[in-house]
Every structure is written in structure tokens, then in C-alpha cells.
Structure 1
């Protein structure tokens, strides 16, 4: 498999260097662009095309939101993964509306950064488990499931459990509602993660929205 070509746009050199060191340890990635602001990044896109851009939100000359909007309009195949120190809904929603495909806090562990890049490249989106279900529904509109999702078949009971999981009910609450044991509900939840390839609640909610199982 060919490596994922990456670009980093961030005005803090120390952070860029730390991020580069993390990425260089992974053979699956190839850093092709490094920029200190959006204007510099866009200038380099004329000769090099990354698959994924790690984009700081606050930068001089041209900030992350302006740059993301430009890329979303002119470079449809490039995925933008927003980087920020802020975990506030407004920043997340604004970046997603500008065209970002995911959002990552700058203090994320190296393992999460690597996972986020791979996920946004392969699945087209990445949100961590700290996002609320309400916010996910704002960010992910209903639409066609991807090819992998189309082959996933859920039975009626699995769909019933999935709907309740997406409403953030606990295993005990779900068990009480549909008259099953907690252990049986845990089994259904584990099966849902396995079938959908989701690693956390966010993934299950996104799957359910895209398949039309829950409404936005």
C-alpha cells in the first residue's frame, strides 16, 4: 500500500517539529508539505498534492478556516484534519462547515494522531470519543453509506440496541427497556462495534446516521 502523503500547516515551529517527529516514525506516512500559514500552504499545493492536511485553526495571514474553505472548494480529494488547542463546539462546527473532515486536539497522544490520519484517509472522517452525540448529529448529515457500510447487515434486535446506544443509554438502561440481561446487551454492543468497524460511540452514531437508522 502506498504511503499517505501529508501536509502540516501550523505557525508554531516547535509544534510542527514535534508532529514531524511523530509522523516520521510511521512508515505509512510521507510528509510532502510543511507550511507556517494558509497562504504558504496553498502556494505549495501548485506542485505537491497531499492526501491529508493537518491544519491549525489559528494562523497569521490566512487562518485554518479560510484555508480549509479554499481547499474544500478547489481540491476536493484532499482531506483536512483540523488541529486546535480548543475543544469548544463552536471551533469544531466552524471547521467542519468550512470543509474539514475531522478534528484533533493538539495535546492528543501520538497513537491518536496516527489513528486520526489513517481514519480520515480511509473513511473520510474522524471524530474522537469526547464529542457529544448532539454535536456529531450537527456535523454528519445523512447520506449514502460507503461501500463497506453497504455490505453490513444488522438484524432487528441489533438495530434496536444501536438506536438506544446512540441515545446514550447505559447497558443497564437498555437491558431494562428491552427486557434483556445486561450481559446480553453487552454482547450486542460488542457485535455492533465489530460489524461496523467502529472504535467508539462516535463511530456508531456516524454509522447510524449515514444508514438512516437515526435521524439528524
Structure 2
């Protein structure tokens, strides 16, 4: 029975490009396309999907909890995150959340095929760059966190950062993350304290300096 793969991305060019790479990797694969998180969950309920290539910034997603939402519908599905978010900051967080691999969208076709093959055979996948960062952290007792203070943020704080940088207000963030407005305020204060900023513009500048996509 051919492997069934869902490509979850709201950009048509990415979907078509992924279809090409997937069929080059495994010609008999059946490829499904979805453009948002509700559509992905419906597909998972209707079809026996073996693997998902997931843009974590699809409409209805954009948070770490989306991995668990997927697993709640189809527990054994494999998930390869393909995202614009900086892998140095986000890759291991999403793997800890339950994803099987992480790649940045600017990677080449060979890296995507390597990731698909690794995940298909039951392995986890991160790039060589992430592995080097892990080794650097181990040898330097976590010193890389001081080089990039964004790595000090918790997963939830990162989610709040994305929405703040995207121009969302406290009420909008509370609604998007299903938390109370006072909780958003607490997270915002902790973020500003950790990154030593006093406003959203300065917060955006920190993300830009460290080449991290906060949106």
C-alpha cells in the first residue's frame, strides 16, 4: 500500500514544490494538500495519513500545541516541520513537542529527501547545523543561550512574542492562545525582562539581530 503524505501549507508554490520532491523521493506516494489546521485535522480523520509535511505557520496553527492536536487525531502519524522559523531556536522545541523532524524552508531538495527518508524509517531528523549547536552547548555548558537570548524564552513566551511582533494586542493574543488577558500581560513582562527590552519595537529588533523569524 503506497505511503500517504499530507502537505500542510497555505502557499501553492510550496505545496507544488513539495509534491515534486516527494514523488522524486518515492514515486508511488499519494500526496494530499491542505491549507489550514482545521483542514488538516479533517483530512487526518478521513484518511490514513502516514506522514505530514507541516508549515507551523498555517492558518489555525502557529503554536507548539498544534503537534499534540495532530497526535490526538492520528497518534502514529509522522510529522516533518518545514518552517521559516530559525531552526537554532525552534527545531528541538518542536521535536520535544512530538514532531519527528525539522527543516527550514530555505533548505535544498536533498535535505528534504534526507529528512523524509529518515522519518519514514523511524528516525528523528535535524540538520547538521542543529547537531553542531547541540555539541557546542554541551561542550560550553549552555553558553550558546547567552549568545542568543531568545533561546532563554519558554515555548509559550515564544508564541506570545510571535503575536506581539505581528502587531497583535493583549486581547487578541489571549483569544488566539486561549488564555486570560492578565496571563498575557505576565508573559509579556517576563519576555521584556529576559530580553532586556521595554517595547515591541525593541523586541522586534532583538529578533532581527539574532536572525529569528518571530512572525
Normalised by the length of structure 2, the TM-score is: 0.56
Counterpart position of 1:125: 124
Structure 2 residue aligned with 1:98: 97
Quote the Cα distance in structure 1 between the aligned partners of 2:99 and 2:15: 19
Which of the pair has more CA radius of gyration?
A: 1
Distance 1:34 1:136, change over 3 A: farther
- The alpha carbon displacement at 1:73 in A equals 3.4
Aligned to 1:53: 52
- Residue 25 (1) aligns with residue 24 (2): yes
In structure 1, distance between residues paired with 2:64 and 2:34? 15
Alpha-carbon distance in 2 for matches of 1:137, 1:102: 20
CA contact (8 A) 2:22 2:113 kept: yes
TM-score, normalisation: structure 1: 0.56
Q: What does the per-residue CA deviation read over 1:132-189, in whole Å, with 9 as the maximum and x for residues that have no partner?
A: 4564899xxxxxxxxxxxxxxxxxxxxxxxxxxx859xxxxxxxxxxxxxxxxxxxxx
| Alpha-carbon distance in 1 for matches of 2:125, 2:104 | 12
Asked if 1:39 is matched to 2:50, the reply is: no
Dislocated runs of 4+, deviation >6 Å: none
RMSD, matched Cα: 2.7
Distance 2:101 2:55 in 1: 12
Alignment: residue pair count:
140
Moved more, 73-82 or 86-95: 86-95
How far is the alpha carbon of 1:6 from its aligned partner? 1.0
Structure 1 unaligned blocks of 5 or more: 139-165, 169-216
Instruction: Give the aligned partner of residue 69 of structure 1.
Output: 68
Q: 1:32 to 1:20 in 2, by over 3 A?
A: closer
Give the drift of 1:131.
0.5
Instruction: Indicate how the Cα distance of structure 1 residues 39 and 13 shifts in structure 2: closer, same or farther if over 3 A, else same.
Output: same
Contact 1:57 1:84 in 2 (8 A): yes
Which sits farther off after the overlay, 20-29 or 78-87? 20-29
CA distance in 2, matches of 1:75, 1:114: 23
SS state at 1:96 partner = helix
Q: Is the 8 A contact 1:38 1:64 kept in 2?
A: no
1:23 Cα deviation from its structure 2 partner: 1.7
Measured after TM superposition, the shift of residue 46 of structure 1 is 1.5
Does the CA contact (< 8 Å) of 2:80 and 2:100 recur in 1?
A: yes
Partner Cα distance (1:56, 1:24) in 2: 19
**Residue 123 and residue 115 in structure 1: after superposition, are their counterparts in 2 closer, same or farther (change >3 A)?**
same
Secondary structure in structure 2 of the residue aligned to 1:103: strand
Alignment of 1:148-159 (within 5 A): none
Distance in 1, Cα, partners of 2:43 & 2:71: 16
